[in-house]
Structure 1
Amino acid sequence: MNTELLGAVREGWGWTGIDAAAVTAVSPFGHLIVRDAQGAFWYLDPELRSLDRVASDEPSLFAYMRDAEVREIWEAMALVDAARVRLGAPEAGRCYSLKTHALLQGDYSHDNLCTIPIAELIRFTGDFEQQTRHLPEGSAVQLKVVE
């Protein structure tokens, strides 16, 4: 799984310049902690479509993850509980997420919860962010599925 996730980070988010070496943690909603080749740690948030360097070493990462706001976002307890009731536990390699339209709109209603392969979520959100990052907020986007 870690090899597949690492590949998804490299494919979906490599355009940011991250030299991803390992995925060290995965939240129930597919948020990742990624260690780069230099030993720094990055927080990948697929809902916000962001990848931020959060620590230069493990002690700094542990301090970052102890922050109450960070823990609340990482654990997402209420949302995880709602998803577990609605969908059951996700199978191996999957996480909870929002259906695509809701993910892009930030609509966290329980009807929009689903499970998805984590690697697919990471690739999609990275690719989408790369293509849309320069658009003004509120811009209309049309998705085109290509097989």
Structure 2
Amino acid sequence: MTMNKSKQSRNRPIHKPLVLWTHVNTNNFFGNLGNIRFDYTTENPNGMMQKGLKTEVSEELKRMILKEWAWLIGTDKVVVAITNLGDAFFSDKSGWIYWLDTGSGELEKVADSLGDFDEYLADPETSDVWLLSNLLNDLEAAGIHCQEHEVYSPKHHPLIGGEYKADNFYCIDALEHFSLSSSIHFQIKDLPDGTPIQFTISR
């Protein structure tokens, strides 16, 4: 199979190494990151009621996401919501909102406040990029329904040509999804484009 250096994630290209095998060893991979503490909270007055967005996230999952992705997002953020397709949104002390795209392994500031974030979500084009609304509709139409503790995750990662189509996604525990996706991106973050690499599972 011919692999292209640049892969498409939603509507933007990913420039990452070529991943030939995406099995990873996540055992204690982030055990030395330490504890993360927060002494402030964020509140959304508008409720962020949006299909594909989970705002009621367990404390266990919040702590795990913050710990596993601290290498990218830093230690100054709180989880605002996650998406059904396994991405996350954060807020910091300034109230800014950030989007973690677990497919491309990128963090992007997307709004100056939760109020602005709500307004942007009301725009169909923006919400489809962030929440993959069309893909979510296709998954539901195909009868693929996740449990409350699960998210949709790709069978074949976008880094190796996996497409954002319903037949490439399955339901997986959200804890496992965020841990696995973080481990993949952490291990390849400093490699140049086109580097052939191999991940193996240790049992």
TM-score range, shorter chain: 0.7 to 0.9
User: Aligned to 1:104, which of 159, 177, 201?
Assistant: 159
Q: Hey, what's the Cα distance between the residues in 2 that align with 1:131 and 1:87?
A: 34
For the aligned residue pairs, the C-alpha RMSD in angstroms reads 2.3
The structure where helix makes up a greater share of residues is: 1
SS in 2 for 1:115: strand
Q: Which residue, 48, 63, 76 being the options, matches 1:19?
A: 76
8 A Cα contact 1:46 1:121, kept in partner: no
Q: Which residue of structure 2 aligns with residue 9 of structure 1?
A: 65
Asked whether 1:28 is paired with 2:120, we answer no
Match of residue 135 from structure 1 = 191
Change (3 A) 1:145 1:65: same
User: How many angstroms apart in 1 are the aligned matches of 2:127 and 2:200?
Assistant: 35
* Conserved 8 A contact 1:96-1:114: yes
TM-score by length of 2: 0.61
Specify the alignment match of 2:151 in structure 1.
95
The separation in 2 between residues aligned to 1:18 and 1:61, in whole angstroms, is 21
Secondary structure (helix, strand or coil) at the match of 2:199 reads: coil
Tell me which residue corresponds to 1:118: 174
Instruction: State the distance in 2 between where 1:117 and 1:107 align.
Output: 20
Query: Larger relative contact order (C-alpha < 8 A, sep ≥ 6)?
Result: 2
TM-score (norm 1): 0.81
2:117 aligns with 61
- Give the Cα–Cα distance (whole angstroms) in 2 for the partners of residues 76 and 134 of structure 1: 28
Q: Distance in 1 between matches of 2:197 and 2:123?
A: 35
1:130: how far off?
A: 1.8
Query: Is the alpha carbon distance of 1:132 and 1:62 closer, same or farther for their aligned partners in structure 2, counting shifts above 3 Å?
Result: same
Give me the whole-angstrom Cα distance separating, in 2, the residues matched to 1:82 and 1:43.
Answer: 23
Note if contact 2:103-2:157 (Cα within 8 Å) is conserved in structure 1: no
Indicate the percent of aligned positions where both proteins have the same amino acid: 25
Asked which structure has the greater CA Rg, the reply is 2
How many pairs does the alignment contain? 145
Superposed displacement of residue 94, structure 1: 0.6
Distance in 2 between residues matched to 1:64 and 1:77, nearest whole Å: 14
Instruction: Give the distance between the partners of 2:152 and 2:84, measured in 1 at CA.
Output: 6
